[in-house]
Structure 1
Amino acid sequence: MNKYEDKIKKNRIIKRRNNVIIGVILLCAFGWAFFIGTKVAYKKHAVVTTSNKVEHQKSAEEKQQDELKQRFTTKQPAGAYMPWKTKRTDGKKVAYLTFDDGPSPNTLKILSILKQNNIKATFFLIGQNAERNKDLVKEEVKEGHVVGNHTYSHELRYREDPSVFVDDINRCDTVIKSIVGKDYNLKLMRFPGGSFNTRHLNLNPFKDAVTKAGYHYVDWNDWIGDAMRNNVPVDVLLNELRKYSNDNTVVVLMHDAAAKGTTVQALPEVIQYLKSKGYTFETLN
């Protein structure tokens, strides 16, 4: 009887031990499964998070590309002349050097530098300055440069009626014709401060009036920053130029007014920099 009881007792112990072992195995298996599941879930989360980041970056890059694309494909407003928005198919890089607010004594120095480099530029003349410096205007034309219209009085605040603004442009046109000859018929002008001048609420009526009067207006997509103040240091002017000279076509804004002495100093380096970037030089006409 004792042997029988001992046998039963042993069987119970073995059974309990087996149950414990099975329980431990099940517990380990459950724990391992939980660990693997958590790890996979984390990886999936990481992949999704990374994917979202990539997608976000991609969206930002695509947005930037869309903006850049729009810059070149947006239709030009009637009357606007925007060479940089016309896609080039000849593989060339072209720079248009433009000078506003002259002529002045600085103009003669600029003409000399341009001649040394065999470059033709476009000068947007203020009518009253042209009247005072007729010989300089004649010299510009003689050297093969283009002269455009920058209004007679260079009124920046646009307080007058658009029709009065057009009268001011016509007056400048008359002055230029009186100097270079009646055959002058280039109806190309530049708004004082630019046609996109944000200091004024709405220049659209002025643009419409200019267009109806038969003129085209041109702004710029690069500059040297000499409009910021008088005698901007040369290194600052060159840094401004480098910021924006990325397009295949650049219209560079500079000034040949009497107070822009550092523009004259910077011009040889401006030309050299643009040449180093593969640009050739043409005139706006």
Structure 2
Amino acid sequence: MKHKKISSKKRKNILILSVSILFLFSLGFISGASVSYKKSKTVAANNISSSPSNISNSTKSSSTESQKYMNKRESKVQTFNSKDLSNFNPYKSDGRKVVYLTFDDGPSSNNTPKILAVLKNYNVKATFFLIGENAEQNKKLVKEEAAEGHAIGNHTYSHNMRYIYSDPKVFISDIKKCDEVLKSILGSNYNSKLIRFPGGSFGRKLEPFREEAKKNGYRYVDWNDLTGDAEHNIVPVVNLISKVKQYANHDHLVILMHDAPEKVTTVQALPQIIEYFRSQGYSFDTL
């Protein structure tokens, strides 16, 4: 009888021990799974910020917000800081009236050839700030721009706002990648250190990026006049002409325009823009 009681007690203790071990094992499994999940989230987040392709494939809403931010910055003329102008100052009056026509975001197969034709017809030279990815796809147009005496500037390789403005080092890396593309196309004909920040270089948040650009020997330029063709995909010609006249109150004008595929009205407005400034006594030059 006594033996049976001891045996029953042992079984009870073994059962309690087994349940305790099972509980601890389950707790450890859940904890490990939680840590693993957190790690996987961290790795995923790091991967998203590690390349422009991953960022460009993220949510459409964030892409739309980035575009709105860019459009907002490229729809206004800024007051320039003298410290920034020490890097490069094409706005300084020297007794001449000069217009610098600039085109961002190209080249594009549908609009750039038409812009080149208009410029050739009026014997006007302009400055093209090229996106590296677009240059790779339109090498012939890049060569044509240079051959016809236009200036070629760097507008980053990816033009991905979230990526390039994630860190000054990332920004410069993207700029240098675009340099490599342009040099591979133009060879010794390309030795420019002239860049334009996507969305412009102005603002306190971009100060570290401006400093990094200067440290790497780059000159950056924004604008003091614009057509407003960044406000929407297609802006009526009359609006573009009105906008460019609105800010034409300086002797030296750097005019922001775009030759991206959707900017068809920019092409249509260009002859009138050239004729207007010539009638006002301006000459045209490259940066």
What's the TM-score once normalised by structure 2's chain length?
0.69
Q: How far does residue 81 in structure 1 lie from its aligned partner after superposition?
A: 2.0
Residue 25 of structure 2: aligned partner: none
Name the aligned partner's letter for residue 254 of structure 2. V
CA distance in structure 1 between the partners assigned to 2:174 and 2:153 by the alignment: 14
Question: 1:116 Cα deviation (Å)?
Answer: 0.2
- Alpha-carbon shift at residue 83 of structure 1 (Å): 1.2
Does the alignment pair 1:99 with 2:103?
yes
Aligned to 1:108: 113
Distance in 2 between the 1:104 and 1:78 partners? 31
Q: 2:72: which partner in 1?
A: none
SS of the counterpart of 2:161? coil
Structure 2: how far apart are the matches of 1:235 and 1:126? 28
* Deviations, residues 102-144 of structure 1 (Å, cap 9, x unaligned): 0002000000000000000000000000000000000001101
Deviation of residue 78 (structure 1)? 6.6
Among 248, 251, 254, which residue is 2:254 paired with? 251
Shift in CA distance, 175/79, structure 1 to aligned 2, threshold 3 Å: farther
Contact 1:78/1:211, CA 8 A, preserved across alignment: no
For 1:213, give the aligned amino acid. N
> Kindly tell me: are residues 115 and 250 of structure 1, through their superposed partners in 2, closer, same or farther at Cα, counting changes over 3 Å?
same
Counterpart in the other structure of 1:67: none
The one of 206, 209, 212 equivalent to 1:209 is 212
Q: Aligned partner of 2:89: which letter? A: M
Q: Distance in 2 between matches of 1:151 and 1:113?
A: 26
User: What's the counterpart of residue 274 of structure 2?
Assistant: 271
Write out aligned runs for 1:119-268 (5 A).
119-157=124-162, 158-196=164-202, 202-268=205-271
Contact 1:256 1:263 in 2 (8 A): yes
- For residues 270 and 234 of structure 1, the distance between their equivalents in structure 2, rounded to whole angstroms, comes to 10
The whole-number CA distance in structure 2 between the counterparts of 1:214 and 1:81 is 11
TM-fit CA distance, 1:82: 2.7
The count of residues paired between Structure 1 and Structure 2 equals 207
How far 1:220 sits from its partner (Å)?
0.3
Rg larger in structure: 1
Secondary structure at the aligned position of 1:81 is classed as: coil
SS in 2 for 1:80: coil
Residues 75-104 of structure 1: per-residue CA shift (max 9 Å, x gap): 3427632311x231xx32000000000000
Q: Secondary structure at the match of 2:283?
A: strand
Percent of matched pairs sharing the same residue: 57
In structure 1, the gaps of 5 or more residues are: 1-70
| 2:142 partner SS | helix
Amino acid at match of 1:164: V
CA contact 1:79–1:211 (8 Å) conserved in 2:
no
Under a length normalisation based on structure 1, what TM-score does the superposition of the two structures give?
0.70
Would you say the 8 A contact 1:76–1:82 is kept in 2? no
- Over the residues paired in the alignment, what is the CA RMSD in angstroms? 1.6
Cα deviation code 1:173-227 (max 9, x no counterpart):
000000011452110000000001x5xx600111111111110100000000001
CA contact (8 A) 1:79 1:216 kept: no
* 8 Å Cα contact 1:100/1:257 also seen in 2: yes
Partner SS, residue 99 of structure 2: strand
Which SS does the other structure have where 1:214 is aligned? Answer: coil
**Shift of residue 231, structure 1, vs aligned partner:** 1.0
Structure 2: which 5+ residue stretches go unaligned?
1-78
Change (3 A) 1:245 1:212: same
Structure 1 residues 237 and 183, CA gap change in structure 2 (3 angstroms) = closer
